[in-house]
Structure 1
């Protein structure tokens, strides 16, 4: 499957289905959420290890990453400053990047939301940063407690972010779509009067657990 169709497919699915299809794994720390709750994100990771409180590596990465990439930034959970703001986001948009995920805080939240660019972070902090430490870009990192390798598929929505190994992306998409289709059927059955107990067979399991 070509990359464009893969990305389009993930953008149509909730991260819950994606995470389940990914073996119930790959979900980042729950604090990492979108600035705009309506944001949807999917694309290959371009990884950026950073020294906490220093953002010059981010500026370098903006122009090193291929169009359509998601900058995944390991700021090691640093929350005492905002290494990304309106200027960085505008530069990312000019380079046609798909979004940003940062294990840390950012600033200019209202401006970023107005720009409509998908940015996932731990929260907001107006503090400034240094520009001194460069790193090896696009190397394996940990972001939000999850291993991220260059090219891994990053999928995000209001619920959070899921990382899928690049070699499993097509398989996970197919499984996630099947889960979504099944849930549509179950939702219709519930609206038709069935209970979750009978649909999933939980009524029998509850009796077994209770020894009835």
Structure 2
């Protein structure tokens, strides 16, 4: 699986989404704290009560190394569910990154840590710790259904979800698309136009 994840990490997110028939792309409002962030790994899912981050603490303790925490916080933006300490705790546990349909805080510190966080926004207010919530169940994040074990791929372009049973199939398609685009670039260097290469001349 590590080889597959590394191959996904090398691909442009657009190639992955095209191979996935333009499905699985989260709401574009969910963006990386650090624009240079990149993450790929199997989802460990969390559904927490909006404005309550207790379930996230539970998930950090449970999630296997190499996973990406994917958190349904109901799009709540009234407080930061995640901050520097929790991100550092994730790193210590071997968690590769975090996606939250909600907000975080400590953006500068998170960026300095180098831990990939994809969030709907920022709010310096804290959250309560009262409701346990649930982990390792199907959730909705950024408008996309995410099941435990689905592959999460995030970059500056956004976050995409690949269903677990399609990980190999989508990888092969995405690599073929990337190889085709490399050939297009070579043809452009030789002086051809995109209209010629894609045979758009007949409709232009």
Q: Please, what TM-score do these two structures have when normalized by structure 1?
A: 0.95
The structure with the greater share of residues assigned to strand is 2
- Which structure 2 segments of 5+ residues have no match? none
Map of 2:46 onto structure 1: 48
- Which structure 1 segments of 5+ residues have no match? 207-212
How many Å apart are 1:70 and its aligned residue? 0.4
In the alignment, the residues of structure 2 paired with residue 46 and residue 28 of structure 1 have an alpha-carbon distance, to the nearest angstrom, of 16
Question: CA-to-partner distance for each residue in 1:88-142, whole Å, 9 max, x for gaps?
Answer: 0000000000100000110000000000011100121101100001122110000
Question: CA-to-partner distance for each residue in 1:178-205, whole Å, 9 max, x for gaps?
Answer: 1111101101211221111111111113
In the alignment, the residues of structure 2 paired with residue 133 and residue 12 of structure 1 have an alpha-carbon distance, to the nearest angstrom, of 39
Q: What does 1:102-181 align with in structure 2 at a 5 Å threshold? A: 102-181=100-179
In the alignment, the residues of structure 1 paired with residue 54 and residue 125 of structure 2 have an alpha-carbon distance, to the nearest angstrom, of 15
Does residue 66 (structure 1) correspond to residue 75 (structure 2)? The answer is no
How many Å apart are 1:8 and its aligned residue? 0.5
3-state SS of paired residue (1:18): helix
In the alignment, the residues of structure 1 paired with residue 175 and residue 100 of structure 2 have an alpha-carbon distance, to the nearest angstrom, of 27
In the alignment, the residues of structure 2 paired with residue 75 and residue 193 of structure 1 have an alpha-carbon distance, to the nearest angstrom, of 50
In the alignment, the residues of structure 1 paired with residue 51 and residue 134 of structure 2 have an alpha-carbon distance, to the nearest angstrom, of 17
Residue 185 (structure 1) aligned to one of 176, 183, 200: 183
Map of 1:28 onto structure 2: 26
Map of 1:91 onto structure 2: 89
Paired residues of 2:48 and 2:134 also in contact (CA < 8 A)? no
Map of 2:7 onto structure 1: 9
Alpha-carbon RMSD across the aligned residues, in angstroms, is: 0.7
Does residue 201 (structure 1) correspond to residue 199 (structure 2)? The answer is yes
Number of aligned residue pairs: give it: 204
3-state SS of paired residue (1:45): strand
In the alignment, the residues of structure 1 paired with residue 185 and residue 34 of structure 2 have an alpha-carbon distance, to the nearest angstrom, of 27
Q: Please, what TM-score do these two structures have when normalized by structure 2?
A: 0.98
Larger Rg: 1
In the alignment, the residues of structure 2 paired with residue 150 and residue 75 of structure 1 have an alpha-carbon distance, to the nearest angstrom, of 16
State the 4+ residue runs in structure 1 displaced beyond 3 angstroms: none
